[in-house]
């Protein structure tokens, strides 16, 4: 058994740092390594030719020797993150790493995490999370006709502006309703349809092991309940055999919230606990 790596992700100001600290203090049996990954554009830095060959900037936070802030370039995170984890593994062979990051699709695909948690503020309306039917149809047609758009909708990773062949794209006519239904009925269409319903900042929730709707930010409302019900249906249709994926609507900072207790119980049962070296 080696290093275990978990990811806590979601849009900005969703309560990720609070959830990470709760996992650290209430779930983990030994001190985990905490990595807060911040994309370079968040700190108003423009990548230069020289910076692409430089070591990621690292800083301690929370007065904890096991915690680090890491400024990274999104297009290099596939190299950067494994390098950092290799360094941690050399120091702590059987340790645990909890990574905190925004809804960066590159970060979501950069490593085969052992456990993924997606946290979001309680929404004011369903449109905050989900596309409208017209938007879904438009995005689906674009993805089916455009390799770059298809890659973006399935994996969240932006593709090249031109197709793989390098040819100039020619606009294609809209799909008919019959063509749309036929495409949606295929396994590939079903996979795309389940992901394309969500707005880009929420792509990561489809593959997460736990989804947290944080009522401590945004409050409780009928919209939040409707979103939870739709999320439960969505993940059930996307992967009906994955009984470990759950949705929790709670205030992560309220110890008296009974739904928070259920979340912590779930994490304690599912979370890959570290053991001392």
Give the pLDDT band of residue 119 (cuts 50, 70, 90). very high
Q: Is 30 helix (H, G, I), strand (E, B) or coil?
A: coil
User: Which range scores top for mean pLDDT: 146-150, 223-227, 262-266?
Assistant: 262-266
Same domain, 31 and 114: yes
Instruction: Tell me, yes or no, whether 124 lies in a domain.
Output: no
Same domain, 66 and 180: no
Instruction: Tell me, yes or no, whether 44 lies in a domain.
Output: yes
- pLDDT score recorded for residue 156: 60
C-alpha–C-alpha distance, residues 129 and 120, integer Å: 9
Same domain, 84 and 208: yes
Is residue 89 within 8 Å of residue 186, measured between CB atoms?
Answer: no
Give the pLDDT band of residue 273 (cuts 50, 70, 90). low
Q: Where are the beta strands (DSSP E) in the chain?
A: 4-9, 33-39, 57-59, 67-72, 96-101, 115-121, 210-214, 246-250
pLDDT at 266 over 80: yes
Is residue 37 within 8 Å of residue 57, measured between CB atoms?
Answer: no
pLDDT tens, residue by residue, 171-191: 454 556 666 666 666 666 666
User: First CA to last CA across the chain, in angstroms?
Assistant: 11
- pLDDT score recorded for residue 187: 63
Same domain, 158 and 76: no
- pLDDT score recorded for residue 37: 93
Q: Which domain holds residue 61?
A: 4-118+201-270
Same domain, 260 and 155: no
C-alpha–C-alpha distance, residues 144 and 138, integer Å: 10
Is residue 52 within 8 Å of residue 73, measured between CB atoms?
Answer: yes
Q: Is 108 helix (H, G, I), strand (E, B) or coil?
A: helix
Same domain, 90 and 215: yes
C-alpha–C-alpha distance, residues 121 and 251, integer Å: 10
Same domain, 56 and 190: no
CATH of the domain at 51: 3.40.50.300
Give the pLDDT band of residue 101 (cuts 50, 70, 90). very high
pLDDT at 82 over 60: yes
Same domain, 60 and 109: yes
Same domain, 70 and 92: yes
pLDDT tens, residue by residue, 195-244: 778 888 887 888 788 999 999 887 667 788 888 888 888 877 766 555 55
Mean pLDDT of the chain: 76
Same domain, 107 and 146: no
Q: What are phi and psi of 135, to 5 degrees?
A: -70, -40
Among 195, 220, 238, where does a domain finish? 195
Among 169, 195, 221, where does a domain finish? 195
**Number of domains composing the chain:** 2
Same domain, 142 and 66: no
Instruction: Tell me, yes or no, whether 68 lies in a domain.
Output: yes
pLDDT tens, residue by residue, 21-67: 999 888 887 788 999 999 887 665 444 333 334 444 443 344 455 78
Percent of the chain past pLDDT 70, that is, above it, reads 66
Same domain, 207 and 190: no
| Closest among 250, 263, 246 to 213, alpha carbons compared | 250
Interval 135-139 mean pLDDT: 79
- pLDDT score recorded for residue 50: 33
Q: Which helix (H) or strand (E) holds 81?
A: helix 77-91
User: Higher pLDDT residue, 8 or 209?
Assistant: 8
């Amino acid at each position: 058994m080696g290093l275990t790596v978990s990811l806590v992700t979601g849009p900005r100001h969703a309560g990720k740092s609070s959830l990470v600290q709760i996992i650290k203090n209430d779930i983990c049996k030994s001190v985990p390594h905490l990595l807060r990954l911040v994309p370079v554009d968040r700190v108003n830095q423009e990548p230069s030719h020289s910076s692409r060959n430089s070591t990621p900037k690292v800083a301690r936070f929370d007065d904890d020797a096991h915690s680090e802030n890491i400024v990274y370039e999104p297009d290099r995170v596939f190299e950067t993150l494994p390098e950092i984890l290799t360094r941690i593994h050399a120091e702590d062979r059987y340790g645990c790493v909890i990574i905190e990051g925004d809804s960066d699709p590159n970060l979501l695909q950069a490593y085969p995490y052992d456990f993924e948690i997606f946290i979001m503020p309680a929404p004011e309306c369903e449109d905050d999370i989900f596309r409208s039917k017209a938007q879904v149809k438009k995005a689906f047609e674009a993805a089916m006709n455009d390799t770059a758009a298809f890659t973006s909708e399935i994996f969240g990773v932006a593709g090249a502006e031109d197709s793989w062949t390098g040819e100039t794209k020619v606009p294609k006519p809209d799909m008919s309703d019959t063509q749309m239904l036929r495409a949606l009925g295929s396994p590939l269409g079903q996979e795309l349809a389940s992901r394309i319903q969500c707005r880009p900042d929420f792509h990561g929730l489809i593959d997460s092991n736990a989804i947290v709707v944080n009522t401590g930010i945004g409050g409780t409302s009928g919209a939040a309940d409707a979103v939870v019900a739709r999320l439960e249906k969505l993940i059930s249709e996307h992967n009906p055999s994955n009984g470990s994926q759950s949705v929790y609507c709670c205030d992560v900072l309220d110890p008296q919230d009974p739904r928070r207790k259920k979340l912590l119980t779930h994490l304690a049962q599912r979370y890959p606990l570290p053991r001392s070296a």
